[in-house]
Structure 1
Amino acid sequence: MQKNKARLVAKGYSQEPEIDFNETFAPMARLDTVRTLVAVAAQRNWKLFQLDVKSAFLNEVLNEEVYVDQPSGFVKQRSEDKVYRLKKALYGLKQAPRAWYEEINSYFIKTGFYKSPSEATLYTKMSTSGILIVSLYVDDIIYTGS
């Protein structure tokens, strides 16, 4: 059985600064941070995990008003001149990585993680049962701990 997937993607390349977006930002761990995380995990004989958050850039709340044209092939008849106002992010938007980072950052802080003052993508959580170290790389997460 063949499965087909469809994904609505915004034309981010046609967005204009100060009109369609104010700021772009993609959280990326520095290579030194990733190397250190791998070294600490190896030295302490911890397992190291990596995961890709498939829906990271979807459904994140937008801070700006963003409008998109109706997708070609799906234009509503007698409403061809209308556009969609987005309430949440879509793939392709310049704001999507920033919205994702703000959401995951607030989640980590709310659940007791400590954010590194020198590396914006590095979080640690200590408890009586051990430590958990998490690093973000755009929509990937690397983590290890005791």
Structure 2
Amino acid sequence: MLFTRETFGQLPDDMDLPIKELIESANIDPTVKGGLSWPPGKECIGDRFLVGAVWHDKYKVFKGPTMTLKLRYADRNDFTNSKKRVVVKEVVVKMTEITKQLKDGKVPGNEAVNRMFEEQVKLVWEKLLINHNRLSP
């Protein structure tokens, strides 16, 4: 991701090479925060470009006929803020069938929506949380 103080419609040609050099000088290093490091003096290009943060996100997506479950683990390191590290563990549940029926106007009232919601939460509880607890030490 590139952040600039200026607004560009298209990245000027004189920026392509320095940005490419900055990216190519990165080393994959699982022993450092964020998993990327730069050789001394290569973490910036002149006064114009420097590495401000490194993000490493891992996703797993599970799709079923009535819902989508997305698990995300993000390891972010902000070098502009005293090397602050942020780890995010996130679960997103999309109840696709309920959403589809609501958009199509096929759900007759709140009671049916509540029942469908309860069924979806019960499914997540039984299949994910209970099984996870059995596998945990």
Alignment TM class, shorter chain as reference = under 0.3
Higher relative contact order (CA 8 A, sep 6+): 1
- TM-score, length-normalised on structure 1? 0.20
Which is greater in Rg?
2
- TM-score, length-normalised on structure 2? 0.20
